[in-house]
Chain A
């Protein structure tokens, strides 16, 4: 390897060292501030609800949200970039399912008949709300994720489209289908 190549390598190495040092400084600055708590309190319930669509337990959803939030914060992404935030939750949740599928199958075969999780995703006030929450669980996944992002996270259709990689029209139509299905489910028969 000639001298020119070594110079190039040195530049890369020093640049990476500088990057690591800067990142540590940035992170130390962030740690010294308490503002992440207020920021997290605001977004956490909606993010957890969003993550719960793919995992059965609140503990798993919290693991996913924690991972996303810390990555997001460390990389200095703006929390206002909600399309990216929800895309990250979705991506990590799907990774989580892939990673855990073998273990989940093994445990399901070991414990056999036990598979129903009843941990509530919402805080109910009355029976109507309970029925509504149950009806949400029966929605197709692609409708439910749009509904969760729109109602409890207040994302625009443009942001939803960005997070899910679909068109705004598709996002809006999935939302309308979800609402129609829920309205039908709640109508007295």
Chain B
């Protein structure tokens, strides 16, 4: 004899909330990308795969060798430049200091050239109540990719910085 049959029936009458229709789309999209997905699934074993394939070791060593070579060349160039500066220093002393300063700032000056903010995901994280307030707030999370760009008009050099960012926004929900 089950003493809890009444409460069990009450519980079974409660229906869980249904998934959002977008969840089906998301799963469908994920399933349609088998190649990318299998790569992601193997991400954990990436290091193992690297070590088990001898040619990958070769690639790694080649990359390391190229890096060392590059560093060596750079250092050598810097040393040579240092020697040249040392040789011409008596002539450089004759140039006015103020002019040299201006020349270096004008050629080094980067001016803002643009900014982009790409929102690639928006999540509705549901309703919240602020304590002491009767008005609910809906919480949205925006995942973005921001890019800032600077440009030197004199030399044409440009600098670009990109980074992912996340923003949480609370929007009051009216009762109507």
Contact = CB atoms under 8 A, between A and B. Distances in A.
Interface string A74-109: 100000000000000000000000000000000100
Given A44-B23, A71-B41, A133-B14, A9 B54 contact: yes
B92 interface: no
A183 B7 contact: yes
Q: Is the interface of A mostly helix, strand, loop or mixed?
A: helix
A73 B125 contact: no
Nearest to B54: A9
A147 B14 CA distance: 13
Given A13-B53, A65-B19, A122 B14 contact: yes
Given A65-B19, A152-B16, A116 B129 contact: yes
Nearest to B123: A59
Contact of A24 (B17, B38, B137): B38
Contacts of B125: 56-57, 59-60
A45 B18 contact: yes
Contacts of B12: 151
Contacts of A49: 16-17
B91 interface: no
Contacts of B34: 24, 27-28, 31
Nearest to A124: B14
Interface residues of A, number: 61
Q: Is the interface of B mostly helix, strand, loop or mixed?
A: mixed
A66 B26 CA distance: 8
B116 interface: no
Nearest to B49: A16
A182 B11 CA distance: 10
A148 B126 CA distance: 22
Nearest to B27: A66
Contacts of A117: 126-128
Contacts of B28: 37
A129 interface: yes
B127 A40 contact: no
B129 A118 contact: yes
Contact of B14 (A69, A118, A129, A179): A129
Interface string B136-168: 110101000000000000000000000000001
Given A46-B16, A70-B30, A179 B126 contact: no
Given A151-B8, A151-B12, A176-B4, A23 B38 contact: yes
Contacts of A6: 54
Given A9-B53, A123-B17, A151-B8, 12 more contacts: A13-B52, A31-B34, A46-B16, A56-B125, A115-B131, A118-B126, A118-B127, A118-B129, A119-B127, A182-B7, A182-B11, A183-B7
22 contacts: A24-B38, A28-B34, A31-B32, A37-B28, A45-B19, A48-B16, A48-B19, A56-B125, A57-B125, A65-B19, A66-B26, A66-B27, A70-B27, A70-B30, A114-B170, A117-B127, A118-B126, A118-B128, A119-B126, A121-B16, A123-B17, A182-B7
Interface of B: 4, 6-8, 10-20, 23-24, 26-28, 30-32, 34-35, 37-38, 41-42, 49, 52-54, 123-132, 136-137, 139, 141, 168, 170
